[in-house]
Amino acid sequence: MAPTFSTSDSLYEFVVKEGNGVKGLVDSGLLEVPERYVQPEEERINKLRTRRHNIPPIDLSKLKGPDHKKVVDEIVRAAETIGFFQVVNHGVPLELLESLKDSSHRFFNLSPKEKSLFCPGVSPSTKVKYATSFAPEKETTLEWRDYISMGYTTDQDALQYWPNQCKEAALDYLKSASKLVRDILEVLIESLEVKVQESIVDIHSGMKLVNMNYYPSCPNPDLTVGVGRHSDIGAITVLLQDDIGGLHVKLDEDNNNNHREWLEIPPIPGALVINIGDTIEILSNGKYKSAEHVVRTSNKSRVSVALFNFPKPTLKIGPLEELVKKHGVARYRVVLFQDYMNNFFANTHHGKESSLDFAKST
């Protein structure tokens, strides 16, 4: 029999404080979406204003060869327009991608008691966090997602502190995908046609974090979101979707909430999704676009695995000086990345501007 919650507080206690997560709700026999998860009309994904992304994935293996310029042009065009693209022949073994999905399910299929060992405050490392939604203590409406976040410091720490069910696959993914992160960032920065220090790629992607996301089956997906509207704050994100999918990217710049257009990024077997983050939009003085995106839920449970690549918190991020001279204006100011992160995590998901506005020139 499904539990009943007399108040929103008792639901919050069960899901957040006791570490049951959304999966705990669903596993208890939940038949309808609790009020606390019902999104306002304007935050739901309107199927009538959604279309499918039909551009073929970019073959990264062709970066080395006669088609180099064509591949560079494809990457740059995607970064300048929607800020998302998919890649194949990316160098991450396909069997590792399958292992990642399997290990994600293994972790989330643990009992609530076992998963809660990684909750903030009791986790063996401050770099490892099992949680639900995005900022449940601040959100009026919760997101339909549980996740385990694993920050990288050293291989030794990862193998000691990350969950046994997924640590090896997650670490292999981080290492294997880091080469394609470097290749893509080098393409983007070289295409700006300005002189930069050699270490620019490393210093803007030197902090790495693996997020395994679990979106439990939802009784009414039209009422909920898995992750609310936002852009990623780092340099680029590498995302593995399973075969169910759910990722949607905002297309138009219309500020009328009822007229957002969404582009569904369909799962492609063996492909990885590349997402341009705010750091690269700021660095390029707005030439490249970080994309506002959202995750739709499904009546089937699904997983995704993201590798985030951030600058270190002590780095000051801002537009490249030569670009500012070329463009005649600095669209963003120089900010300490720690301050940028603090602003992002101090707010709920309310679109790309809620983070980027922090760095915009006044």
CATH number of the domain where residue 216 is located: 2.60.120.330
**Nearest alpha-carbon partner for 233 in 125, 129, 336, 80:** 336
Which domain range does residue 310 map to?
18-27+43-314
**Residue at 359 is within a domain:** no
CA 51 to chain centre: 21
Helical ranges in 41-193 per DSSP H: 68-81, 94-108, 112-115, 155-161, 167-190
Instruction: State the pLDDT at residue 241.
Output: 96
Residue 126 class from Cβ within 10 Å (0-12 exposed, 13-18 middle, 19+ buried)? exposed
d(CA 275, CA 293): 10
CA distances in angstroms from 27 to 3, 160, 248, 250, 296, listed in the order given: 10, 30, 27, 32, 20
- Reported pTM: 0.94
**Residue at 124 is within a domain:** yes
**Residue at 35 is within a domain:** no
Whether residue 116 contacts residue 18, with contact meaning beta carbons closer than 8 Å, is answered with yes
Q: What does DSSP say about strands 262-264 and 50-52: parallel, antiparallel, or unpaired?
A: parallel
Give me 99's structure tokens: 């292992």
**Residue at 4 is within a domain:** no
- The structural domain count of the chain equals 1
**Residue at 322 is within a domain:** no
Instruction: State the pLDDT at residue 6.
Output: 61
Instruction: State the pLDDT at residue 297.
Output: 95
d(CA 247, CA 292): 11
**Residue at 257 is within a domain:** yes
d(CA 78, CA 86): 10
Handedness of CA 233, 280, 306, 81 (dihedral sign): positive
**Residue at 11 is within a domain:** no
Instruction: State the pLDDT at residue 171.
Output: 98
Whether residue 129 contacts residue 19, with contact meaning beta carbons closer than 8 Å, is answered with no
Instruction: State the pLDDT at residue 94.
Output: 97
CA 125 to chain centre: 22
Instruction: State the pLDDT at residue 247.
Output: 95
Instruction: State the pLDDT at residue 103.
Output: 98
**Nearest alpha-carbon partner for 228 in 15, 11, 37:** 37
d(CA 232, CA 192): 21
Instruction: State the pLDDT at residue 2.
Output: 57
**Residue at 114 is within a domain:** yes
pLDDT along the chain (362 residues), means of 10: 67 87 92 91 82 91 95 97 96 97 97 94 95 83 95 97 98 97 96 88 93 96 92 96 93 60 93 97 96 93 97 95 93 96 83 84 75
